[in-house]
Structure 1
Amino acid sequence: MNRRNLLLGGTAVAAFGLYAIARPMNAPLAAEGNFAVTLSDAEWKARLDPAAYDVLRHEGTERPFTSPLNDEHRAGTFLCAGCDQPLFVSETKFDSGTGWPSFYTFIDGALGTTIDNSLFMTRTEVHCSRCGGHQGHVFEDGPPPTGLRYCINGVALKFAPTTA
């Protein structure tokens, strides 16, 4: 092990430690409001697998490069894993190199936004407009035509291929 690897490893451990401190274990869902699909916390927990529950209901983040949807290139629609609302069409997906499924736009009316001040920075969080489930964040470093990158947690999505 050289000094560079030691410093990079130490920086990664420190970043994850700060994330754990900045995000309380049972942080409430930021996207509070009147949504068409509303369930109790116990109902969400029973409905979703643990990783999807953490992301959708408690604004967690999946580890980068772990989602099978990173390599999904078929024609189809990406749906909210919480309520099945269509969020993105496959034509808007691109490889951002970040380790999360990325899209340059969404289906009209499918997403809402809130300001996220966690991790000592200000970001724009995106959530499903039907159930309020946290999807990820939007950044201004995407490709044309929008210049936006919707960086989405794969566990917050389901994929429905187009049938011929």
Structure 2
Amino acid sequence: MKTKTLINLLLLLPVFMFTACGQNKKNTVTIKKTSDNKISKPGNPYYSNTDTTKLKLSDAEWKKVLPEDVYLVMRHAETERAFTGKYWNTEDKGTYYCASCGNLLFRSTAKFSSSCGWPSFFEQENKKSVTYKNDYSYNMERIEVLCGRCGGHLGHLFDDGPPPTGKRYCMNSIALDFIPDSK
């Protein structure tokens, strides 16, 4: 990491730790799983773990179907406070999906403890799970990670992860839905 970027990150750490959108709110939207392993969210007709059609919705449409805290993170690239998200420290086995559209993103077998305060993964589920965009916000150079189906903001990608990829997908918990493996 460049020295200037590291210094900027350290200067912004208090901002990330003490400001965020809706951090005390809980995402209370229920995820339903049917016997044929399809998942859906009541009130969000675009949520599906089986449909891979790219979504091109207006900001107003997303605002109608997403809880406010999810909307702010996923549609306006807000960030949840470190160590506050529901998945940052979980070791449960299962699958992570996009909280906006239900796209399959990560498996728990790719999750690792990075101690950064957000859930971290060393690889995405498949090449189409996520897309990338250069992000120069906060006077830093980062790679933004977006849902491959709906384009929602998930987090950022860094080159300080474990083998075999050396990558760290640093994700917002609120941008993820988790379905545990069946016992």
Same fold flag (TM > 0.5)? yes
Deviations 1:114-151 (A, max 9, x none): 10011111111110010000100000001111111000
Deviations 1:26-78 (A, max 9, x none): xxxxxxxxx71222222211221222111110111111111111232221100
Name the % identity: 46
Residue 161 of structure 2 is aligned to residue 142 of structure 1:
yes
Other structure's SS at 2:87 match: helix
> What's the TM-score once normalised by structure 2's chain length?
0.70
In the alignment, structure 1 residue 163 sits paired with structure 2 residue 162? no
What SS class does the counterpart of residue 68 from structure 1 fall into?
A: coil
Look up the match of 1:71. 89
Distance of 1:84 and 1:12 partners within structure 2: 31
Q: Any stretches of 5+ residues in structure 2 without a counterpart?
A: 1-10, 20-52
How high is the TM-score relative to the length of structure 1?
A: 0.78
Asked which structure has the greater RCO (Cα within 8 Å, sep 6+), the reply is 1
Are residues 1:116 and 2:135 paired? Answer: yes
C-alpha displacement of 1:12: 6.3
Moved over 3 A (4+): none
Task: List runs of 5+ in structure 1 lacking aligned partners.
Answer: 1-10, 21-34
Aligned equivalent of 2:71, options 37, 46, 53: 53
- The residue number in structure 2 matching 1:106 is 124
Name the SS of the counterpart of 1:71 in structure 2: coil
More helix by share: 1
Aligned length: 137
CA distance in 1, matches of 2:55, 2:176: 16
Q: Which amino acid aligns with 1:142?
A: G
Deviation at 1:16, TM superposition (A): 2.6
CA distance in 1 between counterparts of 2:12 and 2:79 reads: 15
- Mapped contact 2:86–2:174 kept (Cα < 8 A): no
